[in-house]
Copies of this chain bind each other. A is one copy, B any other.
Amino acid sequence: MAAKWVRMVTAQTPTNIAVIKYWGKRDETLILPINDSISVTLDPHHLCTTTTVAVSPSFDQDRMWLNGKEISLSGGRYQNCLREIRACASDVEDEEKGIKIAKKDWGSLHILIASYNNFPTAAGLASSAAGFACLVFALAKLMNLSEDHGKLSAIARQGSGSACRSLYGGFVKWNMGKNEDGTDSRAIQIVDEKHWDDLVIFIAVVSSRQKETSSTIGMHNSVETSMLLKYRAQEVVPKRILQMEEAIKNRDFPTLAHLTCADSNQFHAVCLDTYPPIFYMNDTSHRIISIVEKWNRTEGTPQVAYTFDAGPNAVLIARNRNAATLLLQRLLFYFPPGDGVDLNSFLIGDKSILEDAGLKDAKDLEALPPPPEIKDNVPAQRYRGDVSYFICTRPGRGPVLLSDESQALLNPETGLPK
């Protein structure tokens, strides 16, 4: 044990977007929700967290760096995850490196953690979901946990509720559970990411001048003051969960779209019914909804679903590549980039969709015709700069280990950030 070794594990975990929303806790410490929720995991190529965890007898305290900056681990959420994971740790032996850790040693060994999001943080893109899922997954590998993903999911939940859903790819359901200790409040996979692989997902990162209410405070206030939330959780969501699971299994896009939009709207309705009221959507969010609703109505069957989390950003799920192309043309018509922003930084993620849409440069954007569903005599208004940028992505897989040590965020000798 005295040898100067560092054991390190690096993992990558996707973020996820709820299509049936989680809003409201019945236990704020254990993070137990008042209803089930369902999410789609996003392709980690475009939106994920990479986390390296290291253990060494030479470390004298637990430390963590997020996007290169050291942050405190003293918060209850980190402490809960670390304690729960340590409690499940097993013996580890790596003969090659001369490492031997007994189960009982984990309580006294310290951990260093480095985490990095491949997308802008604080843009309201659920970075804490990917972050806690990745931390728990990486620690589980480091400590050789024999527990299945379900157990890991229940641990990640104690870091950030929605993190429990990022332990799986594809479509995922978080069962609220019934036990007081939360052991049955964990995620399960409904279908993997290959089951419905023609979906295309856009995220519109909306410029906002408003300071937003954190989702922790927001849902606390909703539980305390919204009379509609209780009804939603008890009467509305259970039915929608069953319908959504069916829709996903059957790849029934119209039902998925209808439920996704209606549930997003109802979540924001509950926020408005909270006292004092919470506004996460702004005029740009409203415009995106109106554009999608108008197009869907014109087509006679939904081409796109929209959903909004605790912020103004829109997540748009297109039924297939063709619909995604037509959607992108609409989005870029209404929300062209602000001055000096080039197309290459305005659409990130899967940029090949630009080619499908026949868009190569700023000139093509300016030449986009108004969508045919606009029949009004008034010329369509364009809202330049109201969307900061778009991300094009798709449903993706769950967490993976990165065995290539060059991808590690910590130095294999010192355990400190590279």
Where the two chains meet, the residues of A that have a C-beta atom closer than 8 Å to any C-beta of B are: 209-210, 227-228, 231-232, 235-236, 258, 261-262, 265-266, 268-277, 279, 282-283, 286, 289, 293, 297, 381
* B contact residues around A273 at 8 Å (CB): 228, 262, 265-266, 269
Interface centre among A265, A268, A381 (most CB of B within 10 A): A265
**Cα of A269 to Cα of B280 in the assembled complex, Å:** 13
* B contact residues around A231 at 8 Å (CB): 227-228, 231, 235
Residue among B227, B265, B275, B276 making CB contact with A272, cutoff 8 Å? B265
Residue of B nearest to A258 (CB): B275
User: Could you show 29 A-B contacts with beta carbons less than 8 Å apart?
Assistant: A209-B381, A210-B286, A227-B236, A227-B266, A228-B231, A228-B232, A228-B236, A228-B266, A228-B269, A231-B231, A231-B235, A261-B275, A262-B273, A262-B275, A265-B273, A265-B274, A265-B277, A266-B272, A268-B272, A269-B270, A269-B271, A269-B272, A269-B273, A272-B272, A276-B289, A276-B293, A276-B297, A282-B283, A283-B283
**Cα of A270 to Cα of B269 in the assembled complex, Å:** 6
Return the 5 tightest CB-CB contacts between A and B, nearest first. Answer: A269-B269, A269-B273, A269-B272, A276-B293, A231-B231
* B contact residues around A265 at 8 Å (CB): 272-275, 277
**Cα of A276 to Cα of B236 in the assembled complex, Å:** 17
Residue of B nearest to A287 (CB): B210
**Cα of A268 to Cα of B273 in the assembled complex, Å:** 8
Residue of B nearest to A275 (CB): B262
**Cα of A228 to Cα of B270 in the assembled complex, Å:** 9
* B contact residues around A232 at 8 Å (CB): 227-228
* B contact residues around A235 at 8 Å (CB): 227, 231
Interface centre among A270, A277, A282 (most CB of B within 10 A): A277
Minimal beta-carbon separation of A35 from chain B (angstroms): 14
**Cα of A277 to Cα of B289 in the assembled complex, Å:** 8
Minimal beta-carbon separation of A204 from chain B (angstroms): 17
**Cα of A273 to Cα of B231 in the assembled complex, Å:** 13
Minimal beta-carbon separation of A203 from chain B (angstroms): 20
* B contact residues around A261 at 8 Å (CB): 275
* B contact residues around A209 at 8 Å (CB): 381
* B contact residues around A269 at 8 Å (CB): 228, 269-273
Minimal beta-carbon separation of A6 from chain B (angstroms): 42
**Cα of A293 to Cα of B274 in the assembled complex, Å:** 13
**Cα of A235 to Cα of B289 in the assembled complex, Å:** 30
